[in-house]
């Protein structure tokens, strides 16, 4: 007896799920399966909620603001680029955003080096461009370092 179309589809589905690695998560109050290795961020026994998943995604794709500032500075040093607006066109962002990133490079070297060398996603999400912008508005370098130390103490 030949297998019917329904049994063929079921067998193929079972084989695919047995050979591929996958995990489940909740999306819009429904459980869905995601193909791939389960992120280490989640406990193995708990199905991540939509909020957990968004938190994980926000931490993994956060850009380092100092590296973005160096990227903007590199573009500005090109001979064909003269204005912030041209840099913004190249980087597909706004002129104001380019200016904000370049102002981060005026921070004390210790702050710039610390944020530049940070690989921890939690620290990167905390030290965003917007949070570091408050430091650029302080005139005195000692006050900037003091404020940065207070920010570090808030995390720990």
DSSP string, 22-46: EEEEEETTEEEEEESPPPTTS-TTS
DSSP class of residue 137 equals T
Q: Give start and end residues of each alpha helix (H) in the chain.
A: 5-19, 50-60, 65-76, 84-91, 95-104, 109-116, 121-126, 129-136, 141-155
Q: What is the pLDDT of residues 63-91, one digit of tens each?
A: 889 999 999 999 999 999 999 999 999 98
Single pTM value for the model: 0.62
Q: What is the pLDDT of residues 106-123, one digit of tens each?
A: 999 999 999 999 888 778
- Is-contact 148 112, C-beta < 8 A? no
Domain ranges of the chain: 17-60, 65-155
Pick the CATH number of 65-155 from 3.40.1800, 1.10.10, 1.20.1250, 1.10.287: 1.10.10
CA distance linking residue 128 with residue 115, whole number of Å: 9
CA distance linking residue 80 with residue 85, whole number of Å: 12
State the pLDDT at residue 17.
Answer: 47
Q: What is the pLDDT of residues 12-65, one digit of tens each?
A: 454 444 556 666 666 767 777 777 776 666 666 667 777 777 776 666 667 889
């Amino acid at each position: 007896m030949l297998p019917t179309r329904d049994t063929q589809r079921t067998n193929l589905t079972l084989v695919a799920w047995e050979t591929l690695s996958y995990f489940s998560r909740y999306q819009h109050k429904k459980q869905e399966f995601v193909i791939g290795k389960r992120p280490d961020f989640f406990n193995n026994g708990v199905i991540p909620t939509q909020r957990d998943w968004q938190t994980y995604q926000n931490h993994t794709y956060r850009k380092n603001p100092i590296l973005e500032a160096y990227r903007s500075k590199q573009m500005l040093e090109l001979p064909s680029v003269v204005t912030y607006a041209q840099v913004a066109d190249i980087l597909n962002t706004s002129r104001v955003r380019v200016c904000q990133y370049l102002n981060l490079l005026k921070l004390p070297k210790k702050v710039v080096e610390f944020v530049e060398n940070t690989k921890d996603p939690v620290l990167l999400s905390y030290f965003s461009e917007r949070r570091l912008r408050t430091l650029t508005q302080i005139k005195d370098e000692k006050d900037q370092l003091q404020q940065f130390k207070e920010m570090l103490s808030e995390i720990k």
